[in-house]
Structure 1
């Protein structure tokens, strides 16, 4: 009898249990769906999407993660030709920068070409064979070896990098000292490019400060306000490499103080701050000193040549700090000027550069529109360049 009872009741119990689980699942899903379909949240999201679309801003999946700004057509052609084995467009490109004495653009082009050479240098070897003492080829060779060394090392922290990787890194980087020296011997008179490229060898090999000072004199005697040189040197002086927070900030302040408007040097105090900021609060970005630093960099960017190859990098960082200072209208303006490209500070330090860029950009767009609708000028701290701190 007991056995018969178990036979009858067991399926019933299982059916009740399954039904209970089903209804519990339905209740939970309903609750979650209720949270997801919060009318207020949905309305805010729709409102934000409408404003972003009206401004013609691009979605995260349409942001270019390998560039900070549109790439010049001549450089695009040279890079494609180099990957196909043809060196002549690269040679013509660098010949043009030498003739124009455009050192900023020259180092920017060398950096891109060197990255290709680090992957496959057959085209560069053909260039060197055809023009053995070409100053452009020597620059690409030295910088390409630096890129190769860092690729051998990998991007992971030291504790996750093998001894074999470190050996290959130091061995490859050591030979760049000779290659930088040769590039300097062949250089066009007045060209700081060989010394700018050597800074990353100094960082990797740990040049003493006296040696870095020597490199810096070689650069500034030729081009005292070279942006890439200052950016790379600031990395050397940062605490994470061969300096300290104090040395990095001192270097940045000195560079900014000595530079005329339009050179983009005013951004370096912001970069030094960014590199050493480990706080969890935006309060450190809303001090009188930071408002003044952002305003100075804004004025510097406004005075710069619109075709300056590094201007977009400055705008990216300005957008970030204007957002943190809740200065929505000027933040949105900087975001709009660089929209579509996210390979710059601070986004390249983020796990999802495009997502982070778009999140801050969209919030700036919504708040700027709200401020305009209510008759305000653009959010707390927007002093239209006056460096005013909100009460």
Structure 2
């Protein structure tokens, strides 16, 4: 988060500096920034805050076509993932095309639906994702106390509509877990019971037992800040990681659970505790076993880059930063008001500590 660097006196300086250190990992180091540039890493101004990694050229072209009102390239990508039963990629595409803007009437998604019909499985799943995205957009990112009654009414009303869209997408393609991933976010927003979430989860795992995106969404539900507790979140994460095959990326879940419940109050030594070192090592091994084209590897790389830096393992952290540099829409950076600044601050800390030149 950004702290205004005005010239102030006495205690104001001390407080601002301490706060900045806690949130960003240290004061600016222009030497580290120069070294980062020498290593080919990008400045803060060139960090993309909409993606966790560079989208492939086919997706870039299809999104550009959609922006021009042409839905056919999006339809081809969704259909190919469905036919290949590549559920991770299908969820990635559905999320990429199912932004809140796509839910507005009169756009390319309406044109696709009119041409393909309401029972087309590909347009139906994008419509479901877009409706969920619109609901969360209408709510806004503020705390409940800062969210108006009108915002909550729009949020809940749109989520009720999302339930119907999700059910339609599930009927259109019964093998697809993606509609149930949408339903997780809907249930989280509407405050569904633990019993209902376990019912949704059973539908997901019957179709894709090791789906990274679905596990990440469900973990949020089980966190203390939403509908669960630290114990429930940790239990969910540990069980998923323990039963998943190598390369599923699910070894990252215990790290996410730890971050969600401990990062804000953690001291430097906490990150170097043996059990946390072991969790990072397990996630690194899992990442190494994942297919190179897995659409979720960048999310894990961002997370590991942060933890490795906090653990003082700067060379290993820098290796991860190199592979995602330029894109910062991932945990933990996305939790900050200025993700690009937070990312560069921690990246440059890894650069500063690294022995590479």
- Extract unaligned runs of 5+ from structure 1: 1-27, 29-43, 374-391
- Matching residue of 2:17: none
Counterparts of 2:157 and 2:33, CA distance in 1: 52
Deviations 1:8-39 (A, max 9, x none): xxxxxxxxxxxxxxxxxxxx9xxxxxxxxxxx
Query: How far, CA to CA, are the matches of 1:241 and 1:153 in structure 2?
Result: 15
Deviant stretches of 4+, over 6 Å: none
* Residue of structure 1 equivalent to 2:203: 218
Report which structure shows greater RCO (CA 8 Å, sep ≥6): 2
- Structure whose CA Rg is larger: 1
Equivalent position to 1:306, from 292, 297, 313: 292
2:335 match: 349
Alignment correspondent of 2:273: 287
Displacement of 1:92: 1.0
Counterpart for residue 243 of structure 1:
228
Query: What SS does the corresponding residue of 2:176 show, helix, strand or coil?
Result: coil
1:91-240 mapped onto 2 (5 Å cutoff): 91-115=75-99, 116-119=101-104, 122-132=107-117, 133-187=119-173, 189-240=174-225
Over 3 Å counting, the alpha-carbon distance change for 1:53 and 1:176 in structure 2 is closer
Deviations 1:84-112 (A, max 9, x none): 22211111111111111111010111011
- The answer on 1:254 being equivalent to 2:239 is yes
SS of structure 2 residue aligned to 1:221 = helix
TM-fit CA distance, 1:51: 2.5
Please state how far the C-alpha of 1:47 moved relative to its aligned partner: 4.1
Q: Within 1, Cα distance between the matches of 2:104 and 2:53? A: 23
TM-score where L is the length of structure 2: 0.88
What do residues 182-225 of structure 1 show as CA deviations (whole Å, max 9, x unaligned)?
111101x5321111111110001111111111111111111111
Q: For the residues of structure 2 that align with 1:331 and 1:232, how far apart are their CA atoms?
A: 25
Alignment-derived partner of residue 39 in structure 1: none
CA contact (8 A) 2:37 2:43 kept: no
TM-score (norm 1): 0.81
Which among 302, 311, 321 is matched to residue 307 of structure 2?
Answer: 321
Distance 1:143 1:110 in 2: 7
Alpha-carbon distance in structure 1 between the residues aligned to 2:184 and 2:65? 28
**Distance in 2 separating the partners of 1:45 and 1:152:** 39
SS of the residue corresponding to residue 124 of structure 2 reads: helix
CA positional deviation for 1:328 = 1.1
Pick aligned residue for 1:83 from 61, 67, 70: 67
The count of corresponding residues between Structure 1 and Structure 2 is: 328
Give the superposed CA RMSD.
Answer: 1.7
Distance 1:296 1:161, change over 3 A: same
- Alpha-carbon distance in 2 for matches of 1:119, 1:363: 42
Question: Contact 2:103 / 2:109 at 8 angstroms: preserved in 1?
Answer: no
Which 5+ residue runs of structure 2 have no aligned equivalent?
Answer: 1-8, 10-27
After superposition, what is the alpha-carbon deviation per residue over 1:240-272, rounded to whole angstroms, capped at 9, x for unaligned?
111111111110000100011111000000001
1:53-88 superposed Cα distances (whole Å, 9 cap, x missing partner)? 331111111111111100111212222222222211
How far apart in 2 are the matches of 1:235 and 1:246? Answer: 13
Cα offset for 1:120? 5.2
CA distance in 2 between partners of 1:119 and 1:347 (Å): 28
Counterparts of 1:232 and 1:45, CA distance in 2: 36
The correspondence for 2:259, drawn from 274, 278, 282, is: 274
